Amino acid sequence: MSDVTTCSFASNAKRWSGQLAQIAAIVMVVFLAKGALAEPFYVPSASMEPTLLIGDALLASKFPYGYSTASLPIHVSLPETGRVLASTPKRGDVVVFRWPGDRSQVWVKRVIGLPGDRIQVRSGVVWINGVATAVKPDGLGAAEDDNGGSEPARRYVETLPDGVSHPIFKLYDNGRLDNTDEVSVPAGHLFVMGDNRDNSADSRVPVRSGGVGLLPMDNLVGRVDAIVGSWDIGVSKQTVSNWLSGFRMARFFTTVH
């Protein structure tokens, strides 16, 4: 009788160990995929409107710029050793990165300046290497806020020197970040900005003041390629029965430019 019991216990243990090994393998594959291929992110702020809205779920590809400790799907305090298979982003790319002020935080902005560029903002217009970006009026929009409300915003289409065009919002005629000193982007760094120009703490603002400053490329996580889902947080203040109406189906599985 004890032999039968022993064999049964051994059989169950073997089966459980096999299942645990399968689960561990699945977790490892998911972890490696998130670390090497792509990772989802959620947009919690309005700084990239109208391109990205609060409540958008993004998919960021990690391989375009190579890999560093910032590429890991969880924040690990490891010394920086540079990037493997490194590649410089293109001007106009929307990138996800670890904020220099606290690398546990992940932010998203648009690349405006590359290493060696001279960047300045004059009267709200971005100048790159002494040339003003082309800005064309594109009607009115509504800029969301973190509480689910909105305010009117003038919409423009900005065209960067390399030909990349994208929409931007302007809330004020003379915002506090509409005029800056010219800065030179050093090697290994980027100048990034939010598309919501009067509501973005970006490279125009130093890290000590809550901005990004000049972004080290070692902090890059990946390039935003697509919106895979979107939900209007303003609906959360309504009854639960209305929450399904908050899904912005038109934004599901759309590309980001």
- Clarify whether 109 is annotated catalytic: yes
Nearest Cα to Cα of residue 144 among 242, 43, 74: 43
CA angle 219, 120, 110 (to 5 degrees): 40
Q: Which of 47, 200, 203, 230 is catalytic?
A: 47
Helix and strand numbers, DSSP H then E, in the chain: 1, 15
Instruction: Say if residues 53 and 115 touch (Cβ distance below 8 Å).
Output: no
- Clarify whether 136 is annotated catalytic: no
- How far from 184 is each of 10, 74, 130, 195, CA to CA, in Å? 68, 32, 12, 21
Q: Which of 109, 170, 200, 203 is catalytic?
A: 109
Task: Show the tokens assigned to 2.
Answer: 């004890």
Instruction: Say if residues 161 and 131 touch (Cβ distance below 8 Å).
Output: yes
User: What phi and psi, each to the nearest 5 degrees, are found at residue 37?
Assistant: -110, -70
Active site residues: 47, 109
